């Protein structure tokens, strides 16, 4: 934020005061706020955030289809859109999977809708190094040259859970300590257990769809599902003037998203896919299905064979809260000396490496300084 600017100074105080209230956006509504505070508002000159301009049928990959067919569907979706749904998870009845997903969504809703004192115990404006934290995560800067994000805060509260499975072993992960709030502990643990096997399956498919052995990427990067970020988008009196999540790509290999039936997620589709010059397109929820978003790490190691999809969340409703859970599958070994880059098997003379080797901390630092949108890999391009 620019120093010496009175407007920015006031905004900074307002943000600090909001965090000190420890009740999140939902807390504002509980205290009877009927107009949206300035720190959440997009500038009046900005174009409204909803409704979304176009409709599009996103692919649903049925995992019970023959393998070759599934691999081909995954390849087509990951390389053209960077986003797809999946159903019929291996080894789990679809009805059981739907129950596990729905229970996790209900548990997240229960956490965010419990009395304020119970949730504010977890509130932490600084998220680093805590196994479990509850907060409204400030909007990041979007692009180089944009020092502050507007609006400063999204219309969203999040419960962030760090899992640690000891370096990518196949045993299921446990949250660090018994720190999960009791109201959602069992359901979120069960959901995470379910997604641990599911994530391996998705990683294997994505690997095969690049023409690589199924275990290639997991062996190289020790993929693990963490953090789990459990979002709550309260209803808003002025939905078109707030943002649920600003446009961004995910800093993951891929992200698995579960959501309730309210909707609000949109992805940016280029030219021919969205119609015309490209645009924001609604991703309507599909009951019982999980959404896979390809992230920046997979874009790099696939040497741009896969797209990392840019997405955002609009607030659709002045009546209903929306719940979603994003589980980020990332390299377990993500220290200062753990480099990754385009996989050598994918490189040819005609298609040389498009990215330098980089580490996960470098990627995160670059995003912190220069933005989370489509440009978030620019600094690593060759």
Residue 376 binding partner per list Fe ion, ligand AKG, none, with a CB distance cut-off of 5 to 8 Å that depends on partner kind: none
Do 101 and 88 touch, CB atoms closer than 8 A?
no
Q: Which of residues 198-227 bind ligand AKG (CB under 6 A)?
A: none
Nearer to Fe ion, 137 or 220 (CB): 137
Minimum CB distance to ligand AKG, residue 90 (Å): 25
CA quadruple 201, 61, 77, 323: dihedral, nearest 10? -80
Which of the stretches 7-15, 178-186, 211-219, 243-251 binds Fe ion when contact is defined by CB under 5 A? 243-251
DSSP assignment letter at 172: P
Distance of CA 10 to the CA centre of its chain: 30
Question: Shortest CA distance to 156 belongs to which of 224, 230, 227, 90?
Answer: 230
Minimum CB distance to Fe ion, residue 329 (Å): 12
Minimum CB distance to Fe ion, residue 326 (Å): 6
Minimum CB distance to Fe ion, residue 135 (Å): 16
Minimum CB distance to Fe ion, residue 182 (Å): 28
Query: What tokens appear for 223 in the block?
Result: 């993929």
In 3-state terms, what secondary structure has residue 60? strand
Decide: is 231 part of the binding site for ligand AKG (CB under 6 A): yes
Minimum CB distance to Fe ion, residue 82 (Å): 11
Which of the stretches 97-105, 178-186, 257-265, 355-363 binds ligand AKG when contact is defined by CB under 6 A? 257-265
Decide: is 187 part of the binding site for ligand AKG (CB under 6 A): no
Compute the radius of gyration of the chain from its Cα atoms. Answer: 20
Do 222 and 196 touch, CB atoms closer than 8 A?
no
Decide: is 326 part of the binding site for ligand AKG (CB under 6 A): yes
230 preceded by a cis bond (ω within 30 of 0): no
Decide: is 311 part of the binding site for ligand AKG (CB under 6 A): yes
Nearer to Fe ion, 71 or 313 (CB): 313
Do 50 and 166 touch, CB atoms closer than 8 A?
no
Report the alpha-carbon distance of residue 41 to residue 96 in Å, rounded.
Answer: 41
Decide: is 74 part of the binding site for ligand AKG (CB under 6 A): no
Nearer to ligand AKG, 218 or 259 (CB): 259
Minimum CB distance to ligand AKG, residue 192 (Å): 16
Do 107 and 335 touch, CB atoms closer than 8 A?
no
Minimum CB distance to ligand AKG, residue 353 (Å): 27
Can you tell me which of 74, 149, 245, 298 binds ligand AKG, judged by CB under 6 A? 245
By CB under 5 A, the count of residues binding Fe ion is 1
Exposure string over 145-172, b if 16+ CB within 10 A, otherwise e: eeeebebbbbbbbbbbbbbebeeeeeeb
In 3-state terms, what secondary structure has residue 195? helix
Query: What tokens appear for 169 in the block?
Result: 């072993």
Helix H or strand E encompassing 21: helix 6-21
Q: How many CA atoms lie within 13 A of 195 on its CB side?
A: 33
Decide: is 250 part of the binding site for Fe ion (CB under 5 A): yes
Nearer to ligand AKG, 71 or 269 (CB): 269
Nearer to ligand AKG, 295 or 342 (CB): 295
Helix H or strand E encompassing 221: helix 216-221
Residue 231 binding partner per list Fe ion, ligand AKG, none, with a CB distance cut-off of 5 to 8 Å that depends on partner kind: ligand AKG
Nearer to Fe ion, 165 or 250 (CB): 250
By CB under 6 A, the count of residues binding ligand AKG is 11
Nearer to ligand AKG, 183 or 230 (CB): 230
Do 342 and 355 touch, CB atoms closer than 8 A?
yes
Minimum CB distance to ligand AKG, residue 134 (Å): 15
Do 194 and 188 touch, CB atoms closer than 8 A?
no
Nearer to ligand AKG, 25 or 229 (CB): 229
Nearer to ligand AKG, 209 or 325 (CB): 325
Report the alpha-carbon distance of residue 124 to residue 363 in Å, rounded.
Answer: 24
Chain contacts with ligand AKG (rule: CB under 6 A): 229, 231, 245, 250, 257, 259, 265, 311, 313, 324, 326
Chain contacts with Fe ion (rule: CB under 5 A): 250
């Amino acid at each position: 934020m620019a120093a010496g600017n009175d407007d920015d100074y006031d905004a900074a105080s307002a943000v600090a005061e909001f965090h000190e209230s420890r009740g999140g956006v939902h807390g504002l509504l509980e205290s009877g706020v009927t107009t949206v505070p300035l720190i959440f508002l997009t500038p009046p000159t900005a174009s409204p955030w909803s409704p979304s301009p176009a409709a599009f049928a996103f692919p649903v990959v049925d995992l019970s289809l023959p393998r070759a067919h599934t691999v081909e569907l995954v390849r087509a979706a990951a390389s053209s859109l960077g986003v797809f749904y999946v159903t019929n998870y291996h080894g789990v009845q679809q009805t059981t999977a739907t129950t596990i997903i729905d229970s996790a969504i209900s548990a997240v809703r229960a956490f965010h809708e419990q009395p304020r004192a119970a949730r504010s115990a977890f509130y932490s404006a600084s998220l680093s190094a805590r196994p479990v934290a509850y907060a409204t995560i400030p909007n990041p800067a979007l692009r180089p040259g944009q020092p502050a994000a507007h609006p400063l805060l999204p219309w969203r509260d999040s419960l962030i859970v760090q899992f640690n499975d000891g370096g990518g072993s196949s045993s299921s992960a446990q949250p660090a300590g018994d720190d999960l709030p009791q109201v959602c502990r069992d359901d979120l643990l069960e959901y995470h257990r379910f997604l641990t096997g599911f994530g391996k399956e998705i990683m294997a498919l994505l690997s095969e769809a690049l023409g690589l052995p199924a275990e290639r990427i997991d062996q190289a990067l020790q993929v693990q599902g963490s953090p789990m970020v459990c979002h709550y988008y309260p209803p808003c009196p002025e939905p078109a003037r707030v943002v649920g999540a600003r446009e961004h790509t995910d800093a993951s290999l891929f992200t698995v998203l579960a959501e309730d039936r309210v909707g609000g997620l949109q992805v940016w589709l280029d030219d021919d896919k969205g119609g015309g010059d490209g645009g924001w397109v609604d991703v309507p929820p599909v009951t019982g299905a999980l959404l896979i978003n390809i992230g920046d790490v997979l874009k790099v190691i696939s040497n741009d064979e896969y797209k990392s999809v840019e997405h955002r969340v609009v607030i659709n409703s002045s009546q209903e809260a929306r719940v979603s859970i994003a589980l980020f599958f990332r390299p377990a070994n993500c220290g200062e000396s753990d480099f990754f880059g385009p996989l050598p098997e994918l490189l040819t003379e005609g298609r040389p490496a498009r990215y330098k080797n980089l580490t996960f901390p470098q990627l995160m630092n670059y995003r912190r300084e220069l933005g989370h949108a489509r440009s978030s890999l620019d600094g690593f391009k060759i």
